[in-house]
Homo-oligomer: A and B are copies of this chain.
Amino acid sequence: MADLRVVVVGAGGVGLSLGGFLLKAGCDVSFIATRRTAEILKKNGFKIDGIFGKMEFRDVDIIDYKEISRPDYVLICAKTTANEQIADNLCRIKNRLSNSKLVVVQNGWGNAEKFLDCFEEEKVFAARIITGFYRKALNEIEITVHVDDMVVGNIFKKEISFQAKDLCEALKEGGFPVRVSLDVDKYLWAKMLYNCALNPLGAVLNVEYGRLAEKPSTRKIMDRIIDEIFDVMDAAKFETFFDTAESYKKEFYSKLIPATAGHKSSMLQDILAGNKTEIDSLNGVIVRLGEKYNVDVSYNRFITHLIQFFD
């Protein structure tokens, strides 16, 4: 049995699921949740079902930041819009985190950097996850789809990525496929491309991803968004698994979209629920990099402004 002590920040679909797998592996897991979720978790625990089977958890340990005490890992599973506040809270208890590793399990690029005030680069890991966690209720998660292993690594010092091996082993022991990778940055950029092209456009037009690829008009928009991201990546020396925008588009239209043609945008859910969207961690990043490196990012800026209208 694994005996890691883990704090999970954010008890949504990702946080509860990863926490659940770790609990199943025997880890000591505590959750930091918003008040409404915390209450229901304390009272009723939580359930996971779907493609990795059924699990139920009672007597869930819900804590506050001030109760954090020298964990092995802190997993950031909240929305990126909460990062500033989470980083503030963690900085206040910095002395109790000196031996902890942080793993940022979030969409977008530039999230890990937000925690460098209280964690050294050696301690900050990032994870890419392309598993569908559908939150049926505040404490009920259905895992609907799993495209690839979760991938964990250190984006600042790639060569020390293996130091997150114990966490990966524990998750695997709990039943969730995970691997360490020296290329987590490349995985994150591949996911950025997919998300930046589809998520905000699907939200603005309120249609499934498949429809966006069917129409020449929206294909042209996505093509240009992807072109601009490759231009920015070239300028900033970021890498992914595709050398050119054209080779990515081939994969995007022939495989990625067909596999998720019925999906609808998560930003649309945020907009409809009146929540702040994650646009600043997605296309907003491209806009800032474009400005920094003097690259034309007009389409990414336009779609960022469109989504910000709702924020």
A273 to chain B, nearest CB (A): 17
Among A41-49, A248-256, A301-309, the one that faces the other chain is A301-309
Q: Which residues of A contact B (CB under 8 A)?
A: 204-205, 215, 217-218, 220-221, 224, 296, 298-299, 302-306, 308-309, 311
Contacting residues, chain B, for A220 (C-beta < 8 A): 305
Contacting residues, chain B, for A305 (C-beta < 8 A): 217-218, 220-221
A305 to B299, CA, bound (A): 11
Indicate which residue in B215, B218, B296, B306 contacts A221 across the interface (CB closer than 8 Å): B306
Copies of the protein in its oligomer: 2
Other than A217-B311, A298-B298, A302-B303, give 11 A-B pairs with Cβ distance below 8 A: A204-B205, A205-B306, A205-B309, A215-B309, A217-B308, A218-B306, A220-B305, A224-B302, A298-B299, A298-B302, A299-B302
A306 to B217, CA, bound (A): 7
Q: Which residue of B lies closest to A201 (CB)?
A: B306
Q: Which residue of B lies closest to A298 (CB)?
A: B298
Q: Which residue of B lies closest to A215 (CB)?
A: B309
